[in-house]
Amino acid sequence: MNAPLTHRGQAIAGLAPHREKQARLSPVPAHGSAGLAGELAIAVIVFALTLTGLFHWNMSIADPPFEEIPVVLSTGTTIMVARYEITHALWRQCHEADACDVLPKPGRRDADGTFPVTDINWLDAGQFVAWINATTGLGYRLPTLDEWREIAGVPPGQAKRKLFDDPRLAWAADYGTSKIRSRRVKPSGHFGFARSGVADIAGNVWEWTSTCVAADLAHCPAYYAAGEGHMAEIPVFLRDAYGGGCSAGIPPANLGLRLVRDL
C-alpha cells in the first residue's frame, strides 16, 4: 500500500482516501482493452460533434438586419438586395455605436422609424457599410451603377433628349426635361415596387452606387447616385445636391442608400 503523500514531512490530509474513492468510482471496463477502445471511440465522436457545433456557433452569421430579396442579374449572378432603402432608425444605431460620425436630421419630424435616411454623402455611406458588416458579417456593399439599373429595370442605353450637347453645359443639359419630385420624405414603400420586387427605387431618395466617375479609384472625386430613372455625378463630400451645385445631371431630391450583397 502506498504511503500518503507528504509535504515537508506532513501527510496531506484526505488525499490518499480521496484517491481510493476515485478508484472505486472508476472501475476498469469489463471487456478489457476492447471496451476501453470502444469508450474512447465514443468519446472522440462526441468531442468531434461538440467541436462541430462550436465551430458552427462561432462562425454563424447574424440574420440580415432588414428584408432582402434575390435579384438575378443579366450575367446570371444572383445578388441579395435590400427591399427598402436604409432607414433613419437603423442609421441611428450606427451613430449610437460611434461608427457613423453623422446623424442626419430626419427628413420629417416623424421620419425616424420606417423612413429612409437622407442627407448622407458617399463617405458617410462607407462608414455605415463598414459598421453593418462588422455587426452582421454578411458582406454588404453599395451596388454598382449597372447593378442599380438592372434592379430598377432601367435599360442601360436609356437616354432623354438633352437641351445642350456641349460638355461644358452638362450640368444644365437635362434642365426642364424631367419632372423633379418634392423633397418631402415618404414612408418606406410609399413609391411602390419595381418588377424586381424592390421598393421606392423610383422614389425621391436617390441611392449612392460604388461606381466612380473617374478611372482613378484611389482618388475618386465623385460617384454616381441614381434615382427616378436617372443618374448624377455627385462629389463624395456632398450630402445635399438638390441645388445642383457640384453635380452633373438632374439634381437628386435626397441622397440615401440601399445595400446589396453577393451570395
State the pLDDT at residue 140.
98
pLDDT at 114: 84
- The pLDDT score that the predictor gives to residue 40 is 60
Q: Average pLDDT for consecutive 10-residue bins of the chain (263 residues)?
A: 43 40 42 57 49 37 89 96 96 97 79 82 98 97 97 66 50 50 84 93 94 91 91 92 62 93 96
The rounded distance, in Å, linking the Cα atoms of 32 and 260 is 61
In this prediction, residue 42 carries a pLDDT of 57
Query: Cβ(136)–Cβ(61) under 8 Å?
Result: yes
What is the pTM (predicted TM-score) of this model?
0.69
Q: How far is CA 80 from the centre of its chain?
A: 10
| Cα 55 to Cα 256: distance, rounded to the nearest angstrom | 37
Sheet strands (E) in 35-138: 68-72, 78-82
Neighbours of 153 (CB within 10 A): 13
| Residue 254: per-residue pLDDT | 93
Q: What is the pLDDT of residue 216?
A: 87
What is residue 51's predicted lDDT score, i.e. its pLDDT?
39
Domain ranges of the chain: 6-58, 68-262
Cα–Cα distances (Å) from 72 to 7, 40, 68, 84, 131, in that order, read: 75, 50, 13, 17, 26
Residue type, 246: C
Beta carbons of 120 and 104 less than 8 angstroms apart: yes
Cell of 84: 427598402
